[in-house]
Amino acid sequence: LVDERRVRFLGIDTPEIKEKQPFAQEAKEYTKSRCHKKDIWITFDSKGDKEDHYGRLLAFVWVKEGGGYLCVNEGIVAAGLASVYAPNKDAKTSNFDKLIARQSQARSNGRGMWANFKDRTVVKTTNGSAYHIRSCKHLSNSRNLVELKESEAMDLGLHACRTCLS
């Protein structure tokens, strides 16, 4: 069955091509080299929606590779070309811990977007799913901020604030 609907990879955030973000082209090439004109399989997370508000499928993408199957979502994170993303604590994917481990390893090995990573101090709220720089406008009414290293925040599954750390 040929289905040309667009797919949004679950659990990850890739750099934007339109904004010419670093590693966007590399992420596109990674995906194309594994998926273009090849058989792919998609699976959905049992907890979440199957489509986003743009009509894209929200899925894990699988391809045959090396005698087994590669979850492209996990592979692109392991290559350092995407970061783990959950919009909130209730939206963590079934493979969330595996994605975090792949991201931590890519960061430790300086792959892709992590090549020049410098760990810095960031803050988070007690309930939030993002981490921020202390001067972020989203924190103006927040009390009880928790200070931690950015690597620690990522290993907890938090994502960078799209306002102060984009």
Residues 6+ away with beta carbon under 8 Å from 148: 121, 122, 123, 124, 131
What kind and span of H or E run contains 37? Answer: none
Catalytic residue among 8, 26, 111, 152: 8
Known catalytic residue at 56: yes
Known catalytic residue at 102: no
Catalytic residue among 5, 16, 134, 162: 16
Catalytic residue among 5, 29, 51, 56: 56
Q: Which stretches does DSSP call E strand in the chain?
A: 7-9, 12-13, 41-43, 57-65, 68-71, 83-84, 121-124, 130-131, 146-149, 159-160
C-alpha distances out from residue 155 to 26, 146, 158, Å: 24, 15, 7
Catalytic residue positions, numbered: 8, 16, 56
